[in-house]
Structures are given as structure tokens and as C-alpha cells.
């Protein structure tokens, strides 16, 4: 099997491929672990360069989540009012959990200026909402009644309500529950 060239991998990383080219390259990547590894590790190297743009959760993604969450949670047509972020402020700042964790799942975040309460949403790795919680505090503990699977990744988002039915842009983070010792 011939492998992808550096030009092809570079073009895929930069999103510079047309639809047909991308399909052909992804067809190869789907079945070639070596080229996949080259792509993945090159992406990590590029993202690790100081000053490079890090795509953790760009505003476009946060906006997409803001649109999708009411549809997923309420299944309907909630009119979610969102204001334009003020200078230097866009969404709550999350503290933990982030990355691999052990022990009880505790959510912690910085206070968001003017927030009256917060809406925390937990999704499993397939994108299903498995828990939602409203609180006025800046922390929350995941109850044991919510199924927590070791080795599984979870995705949590947080929105701050600062006025009647007006919400900030959501912040989002991923974490993994490590195997717990008894």
C-alpha cells in the first residue's frame, strides 16, 4: 500500500482539500494506521508550537452548542435570549474537571459577573445529555444516581444566567473518569 505524501497530509491538516480529494485521502486514512498516526501527531506538533492557534472551543463551537442544547434538552423551540458579550467577557471560566480525574466528580468554576444562577449540562461521549443541573453556587457534585463509567469521556458545558431568560455563551470542557480504587 502506498502512503500519503507530506503534501497530502499537510493539505488535509490545513483544510485545503476539495471534497473529492478529501474523500480519497480519508478513504486511505480510514485503513492506514501509519498515515493516521502521521496526521494525528503532526496536528499535535502544530498545536504545540508556541503562539499557534489552539482549537479548544472556539466561539463558533460555543455558539453551536448554545443553539443545539435547548433543542436536545427541551426538544422544542425555546427562545433562548443571548446577549452580545461585553469586551473581555464571553463565557464562564471552568476550573474542573478537566482531563483525567479520579474520585467523585466535582464541578467547579469561577463566578461570572452578574450571574444569578448557572445551568450545567453533562453529555456522554456519544453526545447524549445525561444530566442537567441548575444552581446559584459555583460548584456542583455529580450525584451517584448518574451513571459514571470508568474509562469513558464526558463533555460538560456551563451557561450563566444574568437576567430573566438571558444566558451567557456556554463554556465547555472534556474529562475522563479513571478507574477508581475501592
Partner 1 sequence: MASAQPFEIARLLNETDPAARDRTWGDFLHAYGRLLLHVAHRIATDRDRAMDAYAAVLEALRADNYRVLREYVARDGCRFSTWLVVVVRRLCFDSLRRTYGRDYGAPSGQTALALRRRLADLAGIEIGRLDIEDQGQPSAQDVLEHQELQSGLAAVLASLDPRDRLLIRLRFEDGLPVPRIANLMHFPTPFHAYRRLRLVLGQLRHALAQRGVGRAPD
Q: In what order do the strands lie in the sheet with 139-141?
A: 94-96, 106-109, 139-141
Name the residue nearer to partner 1 (CB basis): 99 or 143: 99
Interface residue with partner 1 among 1, 2, 20, 48 (CB under 8 A) is 48
DSSP, collapsed to helix, strand or coil, labels residue 33 as: helix
Site string for partner 1, 57-76 (x = CB under 8 A): x--xx--xx--x--------
Site string for partner 1, 103-122 (x = CB under 8 A): --------------------
- Contact predicate 127/81, CB 8 Å: no
Query: Residue 146: phi, psi to the nearest 5?
Result: -90, 125
- Contact predicate 114/162, CB 8 Å: yes
Which of positions 151-170 make contact with partner 1 (CB under 8 A)? Answer: 151-153, 155
- How many angstroms separate the CA atoms of 128 and 124, rounded? 6
Is residue 2 involved in binding partner 1 (CB under 8 A)? no
Name the residue nearer to partner 1 (CB basis): 48 or 77: 48
The 10 Å Cβ neighbour count of residue 160 is: 23
Is residue 127 involved in binding partner 1 (CB under 8 A)? yes
Is residue 132 involved in binding partner 1 (CB under 8 A)? no
- How many angstroms separate the CA atoms of 121 and 42, rounded? 33
List residues binding partner 1 (CB under 8 A): 5-7, 9-11, 13-16, 23, 26-27, 29-31, 33, 36-43, 45-46, 48-50, 55-57, 60-61, 64-65, 68, 123, 125-128, 151-153, 155, 172, 174, 176
Amino acid at each position: 500500500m502506498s502512503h500519503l505524501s507530506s503534501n497530502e497530509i499537510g493539505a488535509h491538516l490545513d483544510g485545503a482539500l476539495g471534497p473529492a480529494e478529501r474523500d480519497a485521502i480519508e478513504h486511505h486514512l480510514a485503513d492506514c494506521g501509519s498515515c493516521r498516526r502521521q496526521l494525528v501527531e503532526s496536528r499535535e506538533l502544530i498545536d504545540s508550537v508556541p503562539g499557534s492557534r489552539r482549537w479548544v472551543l472556539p466561539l463558533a463551537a460555543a455558539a453551536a452548542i448554545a443553539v443545539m442544547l435547548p433543542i436536545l434538552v427541551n426538544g422544542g423551540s425555546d427562545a433562548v435570549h443571548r446577549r452580545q458579550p461585553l469586551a473581555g467577557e464571553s463565557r464562564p471560566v471552568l476550573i474542573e474537571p478537566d482531563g483525567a480525574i479520579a474520585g467523585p466528580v466535582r464541578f467547579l468554576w469561577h463566578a461570572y459577573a452578574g450571574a444569578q444562577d448557572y445551568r450545567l449540562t453533562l453529555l456522554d461521549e456519544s453526545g447524549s445529555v445525561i444530566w442537567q443541573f441548575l444552581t446559584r453556587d459555583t460548584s456542583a457534585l455529580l450525584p451517584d444516581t448518574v451513571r459514571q463509567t470508568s474509562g469513558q469521556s464526558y463533555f460538560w458545558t456551563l451557561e450563566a444566567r444574568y437576567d430573566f431568560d438571558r444566558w451567557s455563551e456556554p463554556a465547555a470542557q472534556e474529562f475522563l473518569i479513571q478507574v477508581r480504587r475501592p
